[in-house]
Structure formats: C-alpha cells, structure tokens
Amino acid sequence: MAAPASNPNSPDRAYPLDRTRNIGIAAHIDAGKTTLTERILFYTGMIHKIGEVHEGTTATDWMEQERERGITITSAATTCFWMQRKEEGVVKLFSGVKNRVNIIDTPGHVDFTAEVERSLRVLDGAVAVFCGVAGVQPQSETVWRQATKYGVPRIAFVNKMDRTGANFENALNDMRTKLGANAWPILIPLGKEDYLKGQLDVINKKAIVYSDNDQFGSTYTVEEIPAEHKEMIDNAYEELVSAVADLDDEVGTLFLEEKPISIEALKQGIRRLTIANKFVPVVGGSAFKNKGVQYLVDAVVDYLPSPLETLPAHGQNPDTGEEILVKADDNAKFCSLAFKLWSDPFVGKLVFFRVYSGKLAKGDNVYNPRTNKRERISRLIQIQADKREDIDVCYSGDIAAIVGIKNITTGDTLCDEDHPVILEPPTFPDTVISMAVEPKTKIDQEKMSIALQRLAEEDPTFRVRTDEETGQTIIAGMGELHLEIIRDRMLREFKVEANSGKPQIAYRETITGEAVGEGKLVKQSGGRGQYGHVVVRVAPNERGKGITIENKTVGGSIPKDFIPAVKKGLEEAVLNGVVGGYPVIDVNIDIIDGSFHEVDSNEMAFKMAAIFAAKDGFKKAKAILLEPIMKVENLTPEEYQGDILGDLNRRRGRIQSMEAKGNLSAVHAEVPLAEMFGYSTAIRSLSKGRSSYSMEPSHFEQVPASVLAAVLDQKGS
C-alpha cells in the first residue's frame, strides 16, 4: 500500500470520511429491523411514504418472497444523509453538518445467518435491535457474537416500547447478563405501552416529547425533564458518568480531580469507549409508532466510528504471504472486498463491495488475486432506498455495487494489479439440512443446473452436489425455510419446476479413540502392476478443529513424490465415514509408515492405499455418528408451559432453563434437529396459536444407540 497522504480525503468526494458511517441493523427475527430502517429512510428524506412490513411495502424488503412472508431474506444496502438538528440546550457532537450513512438491513432468521455474517464483515458499526418485551433472544446472541468476532462497535436500540409487556429495565439487564455487554442507557423511553410519549435524554437532561397529532413522528419538542422523572434521570446520569470514568482516561481524570465534566467531554468519552468496543450506549423507543428514531440516528453519528476510526483491514500479499494493513485513504491504491453477489431483476448480476482504500471509477480495471484475472468496470451503481443510481466513482469507506463482473465469489478481494492484496474473507457455518431435487421435465434439467449454480454463487451457505450412488442432485442449506426459499426462487426467477424429496439431516461422523490403520493395494495382472502401502495413526481432534493431516514418515518408507497422493486419498476418505457414509469431522491423521515397489508403485496406488488405511483406522478407533443439536427458545403463555415441556421431552429435548418474561414463559432447550420437523404446527395446536419459537444450530452430539439403527435404515433406504 502507498503511504497515506496527510489528508485521506479526495478533493472530489462529496462527504469526507469523518462524516461517513457504515452501519448495519441486526437482531433476532421480528425485533423490528426493517421497520426501523424504513423510518430512518423516511426521516432522512430518502423516501416520502413510510412502508410497512405487514403491508409488504418496505423499501429494503423488495423480493416477492420477503413481501409475502414479512421477513428479510437478503441484506439490503442503502445510502441516506443526515444532519443533526440544533436544539436549545442540547449538545450533539456533529450538529449542523450533513453526514452520509450507509445502512445494511440484515435478516433476523437463523436460516439466513450468512447474510448477517458477510454484512458485519464490511461494516464499521451496528445498531443491535432488541424487542422491549422479549429482551435478548437466541438469534440476538448469535448476531452479538458475530459482531464481536469482527470487532464491530454497537449501539443498542430497545424497540417496541409501545407493546404490552414492554420493559426497558429488563431488556437492559438481559444485555448485561446474557451478552456480557457494558450497556448503559443514554435515551430512556418516556412512558411505555399506550403511554409512550418520547424519550428522556440522560446526558443533556432533557425530555423529547412527540406531538400526538403528528402520526409520522416528524414533530417533537425538547422540554425540561418532568418532575416525576427527575430523580431517576439524575441517578442514571451519575451511573453513566461513573461507568465512563472507570474506563476512559480523560473523563476518569476529570472525575477523580472533581472537576466539572462537560456534556461534550462526556459524549467524547462515550464515543471513544464505544469505538473501542468497551461500551454500549442504549436507546429506547418504538420504530413502528415513530418515536425515538431521530435521536437514535443522532447517536449513530455521535458514537459509531467513521472509516478513519476503525482498525485497518488485515490482508496479505498473495505471493509472499506478508501481512498488509489497508487503511481508509482515497489517495492509496485501490483495495475492496466483494461481500455479496446478487442477481438483480432490473440490472442483472450485481457484486456488492466495500472500498477499504483508494477509489474506483467507471472504466478502471480491477484485479482479482484469487483468479489472477483483470476486469474492466463498465458500470457502478449505488442503492438509495429502493432506487438504483448510476455513479461515476466511489471512494474509500463507500459501499457500492458493480454490474456485470465475472468469475467472482463472495469474499474475493478486488484490488490494484500492481499492489495485490488478499483481505480476510467472512467465514460461514456448515449446512445442517439437505434434500434431493429433480426437474419435472427434460427442458427443466439444463435450466435447473444453471439456476442452482447461480444461487450457490450468491449464497455461501447453500451447497449443491451430485450423489455418486444415486445420481441425484442434492441441495443443502441452513434450515427448512432456507431450502424452501431456494426452491421458490428457482421457480420465480429461473422458471424451473422441480420436485423435492424429504429434508435430510446433515449427520457427521467422528472417532472416539486412537488407532493405527493399514491399507495396501497390490495388483499383479501381467506386465506392470499396482503397489501402494500406507500406515496411518488416527486420533480425535478437539471439537471444531476439523481434519488435520501430518506426514510423520521417516527414512523414506513412502517416497516424497507419493506423499501428496497419500494426502489426497486421506482427504477423500473423510468425505464418507464408516458408520453411515457421512462426512468425518474433528480427526487428526498422521502418516507414520508404508512401503513401495521400485516399479509397480504409482500415485493412484498410494491414493487408494491411503483410503483403505483411513477406513481401517476409523473402524478400529470406534467411529460414532453425530447429529446437529439446535438451541431452541419457546415463548408461551404460562398455561401452556406444561404441554410445551412435555412435547420437547418427547423430541429428546434437554431443558436448559426457564424464565418469566412478562406474562409469558421462556423455555430454553437443546433439541436434535431430526426431532424439530413440523414443530411449528405442533406448538400451534398445543397452544391455540399463542406460542412462538426460534432455533439456531448449537453443536454436534453423538446419536443415541436407540436412534442409531433408525437413522442408518433411513440412509440405506
């Protein structure tokens, strides 16, 4: 990378880097992310009519399937502009200047977790949305962990404070206990349920009261704190100052020296701690009732980082492996990460990318170090609300899309050919469910393979393979809904009609002991024969470590030339285990011995011998079958709790905990995925439609002996 100039901003860019925010809106399903995004677009003037999820009219949920189901399936990137209003007696760090905010609205459903993962990889900050009634839910925890993994600073928005049973304090305590967040309120809801009026600003000690006769929430007044809330706000302010002083040197020094801490100094301290991921400011409100969104956007600008304040992106030189740090600077060499591919119905194939350094203009060439290919950029677009706008150039810190680029996959780096760099791509979880699909007619056959290839390119958690034994096409994904949406898209976007088999669980195999396996291939059929002989030691790896293979042969018992063939054989052997033919996970394989024949040994013979040796080792090392276990949360009225618990027990579920959430009971359990088919229908009838549940993959566990035979019979049939 070129050394950054003293001013990282290009003179041509409309908004300097320090006034740019790249944020994501992420949360559990149904916490109100899309509704919040819609309100932000309305108040920033990007749309002139508020859309509603339940009416299928939102700007960011533009897919037919999203509008029909009222859920977000694909993350939508959009750009808006925000100027903080100057209000009497209220200090805002960036008031009076216009800021550019790039927003990604992500899905909440666990089946689309890859969308959240890849969005968080390229964002500088996030608004984590929580339901004021349910508090921290299972998928909220997953999203929080994903944000922590990528070091993304967060603001928390406790939404739905207008709902019956909403409790701001409970949601705050949930964040502290379940997420370990150092969360402190900066804007507390004024009233709740039907009496939600606005917000109490803890830092400025003011009340923001929304006008009753303005249903769009565009007019509000800033007033003195009502007398009945004064003591509560004074206490909240003291706790906030104390919490900031504990961690921030500048505020801490003023606090210890008993000097006055100005509002601006306190806000600067909160900003520093939030950017350092040591503090989470919490805002309460209701997106649906249009109360509290404007001050939340103010908080985004005040406390979340600009691209200049985030850590440089880590990359490496593809040739030397040397580490390269990529800083936000328009004057540096171009470097960006392609984080999402999408077949847009209007403009064709889109590649969403985040620019980390430099700038990209129409007509420029970009280089992909993975493929060693250059491509010319013919069209750049930016998504603004539900419109696609052509642009001529994009700068560091920007999120934009390229139209029509080829040979690219999610996670590819696009950079300057003279300064190649590979940025760390996002990581994605393994699939947990699969099903066979076949085209209804001969004409659909070819169309289906094109459609599946396209969809697999877009979605890193969707996999397609051909079963060698049956010749069937197998699709695999993150859950029933995921595969249902894939089939729906095949029909609507690619006009492919397909039949599908029953969903199958993605079982795995592993070993429980250590053993030595031996494999020999000796074929003599006149003339030149085949000879390969491999001895391996197999042992369990710690959970999540995957397959590791090491060559520990000595004295040339297997010639160096044949070691790659042996490793290839071992890599193939782990694809089909010895219990039920499922992939093997978490095993260490050491190649320890073998022998060769001067004339008859060749690569194929050693590859086959390695496969035999691995299978022999797995059998001796007590191979077992593993099944995916799901973390399930069921929210149910108390009168149905007994029935719900009984049903979970029948499904081999282990109850982890139970807690009261308002007038509902939250049951947390771990249940095998194999037992969760048809669960939504079952709880609907058990609770007269009043229970709801969410689940996410947790880990793999051994299949009990009582169930094993049935699983293997199913595989055989």
User: What's the length of the chain?
Assistant: 717
Q: Are 437 and 473 in contact (CB under 8 A)?
A: yes
pLDDT band at residue 717, thresholds of 50, 70 and 90?
low
In percent, how much of the chain has pLDDT > 90? 37
Identify the pLDDT of residue 217: 67
Distance CA 482, CA 172 (A): 32
Q: What pLDDT, on a 0 to 100 scale, did the predictor assign at position 627?
A: 92
pLDDT at 226: 93
Predicted confidence (pLDDT) per residue in 484-499, tens digit: 888 887 887 788 888 8
Superfamily of domain covering 442-505: Elongation Factor G (Translational Gtpase), domain 3 (3.30.70.870)
Q: Span 314-423: which CATH code? A: 2.40.30.10
Helix (H, G, I), strand (E, B) or coil at 681: helix
Sequence-distant (6+) residues with CB within 8 A of 434 are: 474, 475, 476, 477, 503, 504, 506
Q: 3-class DSSP state for residue 337?
A: strand
Domain regions of the chain by residue span: 17-309, 314-423, 442-505, 513-621, 625-716
pLDDT at 55 over 60: no
Matching residue, tokens 């250059």: 374
Pick the CATH number of 625-716 from 3.30.420.40, 3.40.980.10, 3.40.50.1820, 3.30.70.240: 3.30.70.240
346 phi and psi, to 5 degrees?
Answer: -100, -40
Contacts for 96 with CB less than 8 Å, ≥ 6 apart: 83, 84, 86
Instruction: Read off φ and ψ for residue 258, nearest 5 degrees.
Output: 55, 35
Q: How confident is the model over 380-404, as pLDDT tens digits?
A: 988 765 677 888 999 998 888 888 8
pLDDT for 577: 92
* pLDDT higher than 80, residue 52: no
| Architecture of the domain made up of 513-621 | 2-Layer Sandwich (3.30)
Residue 363 has pLDDT above 70, yes or no: yes
Mean pLDDT for the chain overall: 84
**What is the pTM for the complete model shown?**
0.71
- Domains 442-505 and 625-716 equal at CATH topology level: yes
Better-predicted residue by pLDDT, 212 or 669: 669
CATH code at 17-309 = 3.40.50.300
Rounded distance between C-alpha atoms, residue 301 and residue 86, angstroms: 14
Sequence-distant contacts of 235-242: CB under 8 A, at least 24 apart: 236/185, 236/188, 236/202, 237/202, 237/203, 237/205, 239/184, 240/184, 240/185, 240/186, 240/202, 240/203, 240/266, 241/266
